[in-house]
Amino acid sequence: MITTDVIIIGGGATGTGIARDLALRGIDHCLLEKKDFAAGATGACHGLLHSGGRYAVNDPEAAKECISENQILRKIGKKCVEFTEGLFVRLPGDRLQYRDNFLESCRKTGISTEIYSASKALELVPNLNQSLEEAVKVPDCSIDPFRLCMLNAESSEMRGGKILIHHKVIEIIKEKGICVGVRAEEQFSGEIKEIRGKLIVNASGAWGSQVAKMSGSDVPMTLSKGSLVIANHRMTNMVINRLRPSSNGDIIVPNETVSLAGTTSITVNDPDNLSISPEEISLISREASQMVPEFDSVRLIRSYTGVRPLLKNTSDSGDDRAISRGFKIIDHKNGMFSIMGGKLTTYRLMAEKMTDRIMEEFGINVPCTTAEKPLDGQDQLSGYPVSNRIEKLDDIICECELVRRSDVEKVIDKVGTKFIGDIQHRTRLGMGPCQGGFCTYRALGMMQEQGKVSDSESIRVLKEFLDRRYRGIRPVLWGDQMREEQLIEGIYLGILGLAEK
Ligand SMILES: Cc1cc2nc3c(=O)[nH]c(=O)nc-3n(C[C@H](O)[C@H](O)[C@H](O)COP(=O)(O)OP(=O)(O)OC[C@H]3O[C@@H](n4cnc5c(N)ncnc54)[C@H](O)[C@@H]3O)c2cc1C
């Protein structure tokens, strides 16, 4: 049995952010995540460190939080944030009135703007729609959510925090009506562990209601699904937004070697039962290509979808986009708190407020320092771009993303993982055009060489990863991606005979 002060459920940005804050304030804690870090909305998001421009007109409070946190994360998370800056582009037909509102709202919420003529915008991003009217520059950035969570978790572990990934909370233990611990199931072995704590924090995002119910409580949430597509190369070095009220497919974000476009907004009931329809893919491609016409013909290598954990809309307009991106801490008055809503961009602020509340509960007065202290572990990470990391060509395990053998070895050694996805999230292995076709079996071989996966476990490990990989590729299977997928299928089903195993 593990005994601690605070149990955190959920290893997304919010949960890992709370773990870091608690660690810096000297509070013992244990974080439980049912999959790997960033397995929920955090890893399924656009990776946009909002300037707040997107919310300035309709949600000024969220916009103010975004710009303030944007400035903090630029300072504390230099190896997670790429200082791309962003453009809101106005295309023919986009209303001038909205542009004026936008500029005025940005001014009021403290978001710096600069108006660029069409020719200046095209100089910066040559493959923008040539008929754009103008663009407004804002301090948007691209952010790597996986790195962010891992660095937050590292700050916690360095100070004695216990971080258990692949541990699903299946029960909340109550005594005399108070939550005193949880039972969690290790997802590979099925082993059940008991963790006892003085307080529980439910930071499980879209699963917040499910987790709250385990303690007999409720969290009023609207689940809003958003889907995105990944193009096989970087089409812009700046974040591109459409200068109009928030709508489908109006953001393109450069992320290392690829470009992400999205998103949609569809209310769902179950965060575990998601699919991406062909209509969503067409809609995103069509809308993104209005801003960057190449999006219409580019090779899409993957699609993914996530669920925004939004606070229930009291106005009930039926439009998920109208729901505030603000966050809320709910005291269930039974030893458990839930923290819901917010954005990836505001995760640190959410963690600060949650930790303040915990400190109050414990009667301890230690101030928050997460806004000043850089995230730990950044020195060991490479910077951008990744390509300057290679010393010897025959050292490469993943050709698409130029991942070195030594990087993969380090992760296997440190995480001791039985999941190929854990290597992927920490190195970008398998994130390029072949989507792991050629590097998956190499990574598995290395896991076996290092004694982390036995012969009898290896087929299960391989199938788990390939199944997950295929779920993301399936919705964008045509053209070159289809041709490559047939080759990969030949390798795994033909040469390696995986279907019979
Ligand atoms: C499509 C989309 C695009 C977005 N784009 C952006 C963007 O560009 N910029 C931005 O700032 N925000 C963006 N957001 C919002 C942002 O992603 C979320 O607000 C934020 O990531 C939520 O983080 P979280 O840690 O609260 O939740 P999550 O990231 O969902 O984390 C919850 C975690 O809890 C775990 N969990 C659930 N149940 C259990 C259990 N029983 N036991 C253990 N663990 C459990 C889950 O596996 C998950 O990892 C986007 C959201 C979506 C859906």
As given in the structure block, the two tokens for residue 414 are: 């440190």
Give 282: exposed, middle or buried? Use CB within 10 Å, 0-12, 13-18, 19+. exposed
Which has the closest alpha carbon to 159: 370, 350, 349?
Answer: 370
Q: pLDDT tens for residues 20-37?
A: 999 999 999 999 999 999
Across-strand partners of 135? 89, 116
Which has the closest alpha carbon to 203: 100, 96, 340?
Answer: 340
The rounded percent of the chain whose pLDDT value lies above 70 is: 95
> Is pLDDT of 501 > 60?
yes
pLDDT of residue 297: 93
Interatomic CA distance for residues 13 and 32, integer angstroms: 13
As given in the structure block, the two tokens for residue 357 are: 């509340």
Q: pLDDT tens for residues 242-271?
A: 999 999 999 999 998 899 999 999 999 999
> Is pLDDT of 388 > 50?
yes
Average pLDDT over residues 468-478: 94
pLDDT of residue 12: 98
Q: What is this structure's pTM?
A: 0.95
String of DSSP letters for 243-267: SSSS-TT-EEEEETTEEEEE---EE
For ligand 1, the distance from its centroid to the CA atom of residue 263, given in whole angstroms, is: 15
As given in the structure block, the two tokens for residue 288 are: 């993104």
Q: Are strands 162-164 and 29-32 parallel, antiparallel or unpaired?
A: parallel
Local confidence band at 277 (pLDDT 50, 70, 90 cut-offs)? very high
Interatomic CA distance for residues 308 and 205, integer angstroms: 8
Please identify, by atom number, the ligand 1 atom nearest to the C-alpha of residue 38: 49
Q: pLDDT tens for residues 117-140?
A: 999 999 999 999 999 999 999 999
* Structural contact between residues 440 and 462, judged by C-beta atoms closer than 8 angstroms: yes
For ligand 1, the distance from its centroid to the CA atom of residue 74, given in whole angstroms, is: 21
Which run of H or of E encompasses 70?
helix 60-76
Domains 2-41+146-220+324-362 and 49-141+223-307 in one fold: no
Q: pLDDT tens for residues 134-164?
A: 999 999 999 999 999 999 999 999 999 999 9
Task: Look up the CATH superfamily of 49-141+223-307.
Answer: D-Amino Acid Oxidase, subunit A, domain 2 (3.30.9.10)
Residues 6+ away with beta carbon under 8 Å from 319:
265
Q: Which CATH number fits domain 2-41+146-220+324-362: 3.50.50.60, 2.40.10.220, 3.40.50.1000, 3.40.1710.10?
A: 3.50.50.60
Residues with CB under 6 A from ligand 1: 9-15, 32-35, 39-42, 44-48, 50, 168-169, 203-207, 211, 226, 228, 263, 306-309, 342-345
> Is pLDDT of 325 > 80?
no
For ligand 1, the distance from its centroid to the CA atom of residue 307, given in whole angstroms, is: 7
Q: pLDDT tens for residues 174-228?
A: 999 999 999 999 999 999 999 999 999 999 999 999 999 999 999 988 899 999 9
Q: Is the CA virtual torsion 188, 420, 461, 468 positive or negative?
A: positive
Local confidence band at 387 (pLDDT 50, 70, 90 cut-offs)? very low
pLDDT of residue 379: 84
* Structural contact between residues 178 and 170, judged by C-beta atoms closer than 8 angstroms: no
Interatomic CA distance for residues 340 and 323, integer angstroms: 13
- Comparing 406 with 312, the larger pLDDT belongs to 406
pLDDT of residue 394: 77
* Structural contact between residues 260 and 230, judged by C-beta atoms closer than 8 angstroms: yes
Local confidence band at 318 (pLDDT 50, 70, 90 cut-offs)? low
Domain residue ranges of the chain, discontinuous segments joined by +: 2-41+146-220+324-362, 49-141+223-307, 385-500
Alpha helices in 125-173 (DSSP H): 145-158
- Comparing 384 with 357, the larger pLDDT belongs to 357
Average pLDDT over residues 333-358: 96
Interatomic CA distance for residues 34 and 419, integer angstroms: 13
pLDDT of residue 156: 98
Which run of H or of E encompasses 239?
strand 239-242
Please identify, by atom number, the ligand 1 atom nearest to the C-alpha of residue 206: 30
pLDDT of residue 60: 95
Which has the closest alpha carbon to 99: 162, 150, 56, 159?
Answer: 56
As given in the structure block, the two tokens for residue 369 are: 């320092």
* Structural contact between residues 196 and 5, judged by C-beta atoms closer than 8 angstroms: no
Cβ count near 474 (within 10 Å):
13
Average pLDDT over residues 40-44: 97
* Mean of all residue pLDDT scores within the chain: 93
pLDDT of residue 499: 82
Which run of H or of E encompasses 358?
helix 347-362
* Structural contact between residues 136 and 103, judged by C-beta atoms closer than 8 angstroms: yes
Please identify, by atom number, the ligand 1 atom nearest to the C-alpha of residue 66: 11
Instruction: Write the CA distances from 231 to 49, 115, 127, 130, 258, integer angstroms.
Output: 20, 28, 14, 20, 6
Q: pLDDT tens for residues 81-103?
A: 999 999 999 999 999 999 999 99
pLDDT of residue 57: 97
As given in the structure block, the two tokens for residue 243 are: 């200068």
Give 17: exposed, middle or buried? Use CB within 10 Å, 0-12, 13-18, 19+. buried
> Is pLDDT of 385 > 50?
no
